[in-house]
């Protein structure tokens, strides 16, 4: 019995040494890095906007896939296919060698700022660095709005609040206003 207890205590101590301590809450800001217009060359693909900070980067995509009548939130009958396609893009990046050791979380519908989003968390490494990434997708004003948020490990202890705050603050600025809107 003492031997089992000693092994258990040793395992807990070893785990404590290996597990990184939680990082402090993040209170920084995001720097807007620019926009890319895909619509002219590839109708339906819209535009992207990049934001960066010391904890990672966020790419926001506004597009319609040649439609302008997407039902708000996650309710459109074709919405699930679009989300599945976004997940397939991640798997293709893994197969191409851009990402390694991809671990996908569970898909869930969440509400942020009164809007429904489909969400997926994932962990992987890129260029030998561990990353945590989150995909949020919704439809607003007939267009799709996708957030791809990637963070360096270890992530801030308030990561969920950081992501929700970013989305709530930036959705009004990124709402579709024609094929391309500079922010």
Q: What is the number of other CB atoms lying within 10 angstroms of the CB of residue 164?
A: 17
- Dist. CA 147–CA 58, nearest whole Å: 7
What letter does residue 10 receive in the DSSP assignment?
A: H
User: Among residues 46, 42, 47, which one has the least CA distance to residue 64?
Assistant: 46
Question: Both ends of the chain: CA-CA distance in Å?
Answer: 65
Tell me: pLDDT of 173 over 80.
no
Q: What is the pLDDT of residue 24?
A: 83
Q: Is 183 part of a structural domain of the chain?
A: no
Q: What is the pLDDT of residue 183?
A: 39
Q: Is 7 part of a structural domain of the chain?
A: no
Confidence of residue 171 (pLDDT cuts 50, 70, 90): confident
Element containing residue 118 per DSSP (H, E)? strand 115-126
Q: Is 146 part of a structural domain of the chain?
A: yes
For 160, the domain range is: 24-174
Tell me: pLDDT of 175 over 60.
yes
- Dist. CA 91–CA 63, nearest whole Å: 21
Q: Is 9 part of a structural domain of the chain?
A: no
Residue 172 three-state SS: helix
What's the CATH number where 30 sits? 3.40.1000.10
Q: What is the pLDDT of residue 176?
A: 53
Q: Is 16 part of a structural domain of the chain?
A: no
Q: Is 124 part of a structural domain of the chain?
A: yes
Per-residue pLDDT tens for 34-85? Answer: 999 999 999 999 999 999 999 999 999 999 999 999 999 999 999 999 999 9
Name the CA dihedral angle for 102, 107, 108, 114, rounded to a multiple of 10 degrees: 70
Tell me: pLDDT of 14 over 90.
no
Confidence of residue 158 (pLDDT cuts 50, 70, 90): very high
Q: Is 162 part of a structural domain of the chain?
A: yes
Instruction: Tell me the DSSP string of 64-101.
Output: -TT-S-BPTBTTSTTHHHHHHHHHHHHHHHHHTTSSEE
Q: What is the pLDDT of residue 8?
A: 37
Residue recorded with tokens 């109708």:
43
Per-residue pLDDT tens for 115-149? Answer: 999 999 999 998 889 999 999 999 999 999 999 99
Tally of domains in the chain: 1
- Dist. CA 147–CA 26, nearest whole Å: 19
Confidence of residue 177 (pLDDT cuts 50, 70, 90): low
For residues 16-25, give the mean pLDDT: 55
Q: Is 60 part of a structural domain of the chain?
A: yes
Using CB atoms within 10 A of its CB, is residue 38 exposed (0-12), middle (13-18) or buried (19+)?
middle
pTM here is 0.82
């Amino acid at each position: 019995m003492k031997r089992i207890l000693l092994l258990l205590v040793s395992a807990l101590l070893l785990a404590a040494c290996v597990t990184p301590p939680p990082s402090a809450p993040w209170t920084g800001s995001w720097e807007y890095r620019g926009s890319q217009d895909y619509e002219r060359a590839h109708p339906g693909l819209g535009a992207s906007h990049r934001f960066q900070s010391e904890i990672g980067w966020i790419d926001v995509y506004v597009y319609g896939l040649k439609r302008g009548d997407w039902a708000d939130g996650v309710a459109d009958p074709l919405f699930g296919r679009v989300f599945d396609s976004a997940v397939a893009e991640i798997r293709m990046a893994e197969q191409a060698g851009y990402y390694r050791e991809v671990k996908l979380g569970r898909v869930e519908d969440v509400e942020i700022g009164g809007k429904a989003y489909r969400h997926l968390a994932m962990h992987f490494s890129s260029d030998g660095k561990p990353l945590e990434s989150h995909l949020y997708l919704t439809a607003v004003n007939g267009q799709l709005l996708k957030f791809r948020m990637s963070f360096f490990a270890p992530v801030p202890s308030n990561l969920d609040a950081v992501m929700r705050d970013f989305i709530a603050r930036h959705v009004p600025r990124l709402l579709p206003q024609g094929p391309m809107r500079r922010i």
